[in-house]
């Protein structure tokens, strides 16, 4: 049986032995230190890469198993050990990178592997030192505790015990009383858990600030950008990008929200009312999980031979865990098992249109991973995060011609709401980003001060939101629900940057599908060989940071929205 053909249920569950791993890495460091030529170094690098693939696979399997059942003690203990152990790995990989970047044969390696790899190496050296290992261990433990709190949520609602993903379905209900009750149930749960969640975040902020100071930075912001591999743009460029969103997108979104509430007949809307797009109800999938997977399989088969091969592979090898259940971590993600050259999709289906979003969005991530699996340099298989999200968000738009299969009579509803939601996401995305910049510029702020700052930023970018019925959220606590703020600081802006690029694929696809699909395949096969801005340039895509480009991207989409008559939906 080839490694590629192994089903996920057959994957070995192995917790790395720290002593053995450390011994192996120390041996690699010694061998690389002794290497006198580029050829000798390459031989050691090959061994390091092979070993790292095995180790990364073990760690990913543990994470997936734990995500699927956070109440399983074996998985929890394994994840705890990984949280303690992972920062130690950084120490040895850091030593390896130091040797490679300072070696006299570096120019030869750069010629063979590309200059971007060494730019990434140079950036990573600035983000790590052995003296911050204790903080990194604590950081991992705190983010896992946050995941456990949200994954373990049990909320009594309508005679049922629900997790947060399951409750989310009722926050889109046609009956306003149900939406309100669900929002209040969430608000009460947040109130009960707020003290510990706030403590976790406070500890994380101080840990990250202290790490930044130890590494010679004035605050965590620059360190965070380097940790994310951002080598070609900075916080100043991001601030100007947020300004463009504020000027070009916020006014459009406010018009859309007013039209939405007019059609719903709601005069004094609350934040939960915006979860309902149409008076007749939001678009609902035309079937259950099995039906949607079958439709997705047909869609990927129709799109092209590469995508057919990919999705068949995912199904045959049990590489998706899709349905919400008690004890399962919230949210959705795609990860990758390098040893088996296999992506994995994790999500929480709850009977809403988001279920289809998983099969397209996370499917796009998995498709890129599948197309890049044979890239020999491991660091080039996965792009930087804002580039990764282009693949996922673009796939959502490639799914439009199949909306009738996914949604039946609700197909038009889906297309309108998907496009409107995608545009309306941008102001929220930059709200989260600006808030994080504020937090790490004011690391000693109290929880209350952070909430006040969030409330002010939120009111600027999304002034329609009102929280009169939910007193906890009314204090500016919505950010506590955003896991990226805790576990992946400064990542969230990546979704908005990618959305702006995905919009370009959407518009081009409406004009010429075959040409646009080929362009998308080419982008996916680039993997992570180039930094974000160079990747865009090589694939003929607009740079979101350049003045005027947000307007050029959004303008044709506003015209598409006008072709729908939502009063008849």
Mean pLDDT across the stretch 249-263? 95
| HSE of 433, CA atoms in CB hemisphere, 13 A | 27
Q: What's the rounded Cα separation, in Å, for the pair 109 and 113?
A: 6
373 or 84, which is more confident?
373
Q: At 2, is the pLDDT very low, low, confident or very high (cuts 50, 70, 90)? A: very low
Closest among 226, 244, 249, 250 to 545, alpha carbons compared? 244
* Distance of alpha carbon 33 from alpha carbon 134, whole angstroms: 26
pLDDT digits (tens, 9 = 90+) for 259-301: 999 999 999 999 999 999 998 988 999 999 999 999 999 999 9
CA 257 to chain centroid, in Å, comes to 26
The confidence score (pLDDT) of residue 466 equals: 96
CA distance 200 to 369: 33
Helices (H), 265-353: 289-303, 305-316
Average pLDDT over the chain, rounded to an integer: 94
Give the pLDDT band of residue 515 (cuts 50, 70, 90): very high
Summarize pLDDT for 194-227 with one digit per residue, the tens.
999 999 999 999 999 999 999 999 999 999 999 9
Confidence of residue 4 (pLDDT cuts 50, 70, 90): low
Cα–Cα distances in angstroms (integers) from residue 245 to residues 253, 331, 386, 553, in the given order:
11, 26, 17, 11
Q: At what angle do helices 106-113 and 73-102 cross, to 10 degrees?
A: 120
pLDDT level of residue 163 (50, 70, 90 thresholds):
confident
Tell me which long-range contacts 464-469 makes (C-beta under 8 A, separation of at least 24): 464/254, 464/257, 464/269, 464/274, 465/271, 465/274, 466/268, 466/269, 466/270, 466/271, 467/270, 467/271, 468/270, 469/180, 469/183, 469/184, 469/187, 469/270, 469/272
Taking the C-alpha atoms of residue 328 and residue 72, their distance in angstroms, rounded to an integer, is 10
- Name the band, by pLDDT with cuts 50, 70 and 90, for residue 485: very high
pLDDT at 1: 33
pLDDT range class, residue 251, cuts 50, 70, 90: very high
**Structure tokens that stand for 155 in this block:** 């909320």
Residues 320-351 have pLDDT tens digits of 999 988 888 888 899 999 999 999 999 999 88
Give the pair of three-digit tokens for residue 541.
């895509």
60-69, 393-402, 433-442, 560-569: least confident range: 560-569
Contact 430, 243 (CB under 8 A): no
Average pLDDT over every residue of 113-127? 92
The residue ranking higher by pLDDT, 56 or 565, is 56
Rounded average pLDDT over 469-489: 96
Q: Is the dihedral of CA 158, 292, 334, 274 positive or negative?
A: negative
- Cβ proximity of 260 and 274 under 8 Å: yes
């Amino acid at each position: 049986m080839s490694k590629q053909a192994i089903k996920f249920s057959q994957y070995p569950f192995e917790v790395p032995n720290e002593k053995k791993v450390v011994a192996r890495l120390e041996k690699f460091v010694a061998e690389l230190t002794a290497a006198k030529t580029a050829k000798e170094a390459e031989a050691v690098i090959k061994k390091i890469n092979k070993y790292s693939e095995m180790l990364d696979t073990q760690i990913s399997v543990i994470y997936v198993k734990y995500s699927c059942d956070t109440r399983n003690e074996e998985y929890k203990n394994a994840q705890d050990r990984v949280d303690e152990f992972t920062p130690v790995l950084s120490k040895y990989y850091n030593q390896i990178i130091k040797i490679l970047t300072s070696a006299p044969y570096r120019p030869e390696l750069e010629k063979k592997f590309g200059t971007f790899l060494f730019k990434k190496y140079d950036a990573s050296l600035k983000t790590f030192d052995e003296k911050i290992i204790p903080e990194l261990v604590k950081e991992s433990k705190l983010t896992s505790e946050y995941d456990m709190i949200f994954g373990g949520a049990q909320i009594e609602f309508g005679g049922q015990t629900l997790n947060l993903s399951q409750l989310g379905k009722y926050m889109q209900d046609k009956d306003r009383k149900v939406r309100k009750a669900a929002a209040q149930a969430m608000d009460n749960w947040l109130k009960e858990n707020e003290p510990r969640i706030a403590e976790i975040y406070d500890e994380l902020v101080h840990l990250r600030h202290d790490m930044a100071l130890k590494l010679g930075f004035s605050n965590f912001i620059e360190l965070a950008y380097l940790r994310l591999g951002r080598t070609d743009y900075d916080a100043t460029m991001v601030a100007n990008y947020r300004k463009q969103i504020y000027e070009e997108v916020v006014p459009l979104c406010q018009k859309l929200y007013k039209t939405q509430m007019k059609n719903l007949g709601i005069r004094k809307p609350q934040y939960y009312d915006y979860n309902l797009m149409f008076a007749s109800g939001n678009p609902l999938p035309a079937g259950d999980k099995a039906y949607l997977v079958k439709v997705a399989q047909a869609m990927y088969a129709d799109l092209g031979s590469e995508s057919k091969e990919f999705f068949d592979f995912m199904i045959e090898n049990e590489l998706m865990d899709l349905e919400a259940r008690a004890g399962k971590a919230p949210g959705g993600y795609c990860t990758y098992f390098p040893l088996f050259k296999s992506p994995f999709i994790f999500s929480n289906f709850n009977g809403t249109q988001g279920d289809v979003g998983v099969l397209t969005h996370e499917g796009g991530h998995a498709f890129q991973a599948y197309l890049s699996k044979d890239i020999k340099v491991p660091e080039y298989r996965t792009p930087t995060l804002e580039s990764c999200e282009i693949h996922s968000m673009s796939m959502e738009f490639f799914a439009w011609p199949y909306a009738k299969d996914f949604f039946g009579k609700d197909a038009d509803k889906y297309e309108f709401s998907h496009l409107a939601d995608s545009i309306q996401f941008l102001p929220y995305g930059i709200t989260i980003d600006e808030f994080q910049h504020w937090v790490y510029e004011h690391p000693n702020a109290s929880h209350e001060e952070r909430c006040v700052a969030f409330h002010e930023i939120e009111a600027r970018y999304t002034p329609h939101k009102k929280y009169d019925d939910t007193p906890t959220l009314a204090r500016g606590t919505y950010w506590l629900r955003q896991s990226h703020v805790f576990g992946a600081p400064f990542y969230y802006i990546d979704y908005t940057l990618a959305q702006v690029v995905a919009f370009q694929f959407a518009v081009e696809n409406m004009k010429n599908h075959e040409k646009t699909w080929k362009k998308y395949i080419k982008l996916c096969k680039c993997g992570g060989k180039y930094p974000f801005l160079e990747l865009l340039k090589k694939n003929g895509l607009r740079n979101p940071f350049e003045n005027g480009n947000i307007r050029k991207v959004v303008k044709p989409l506003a015209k598409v929205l006008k072709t729908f008559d939502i009063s008849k939906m």
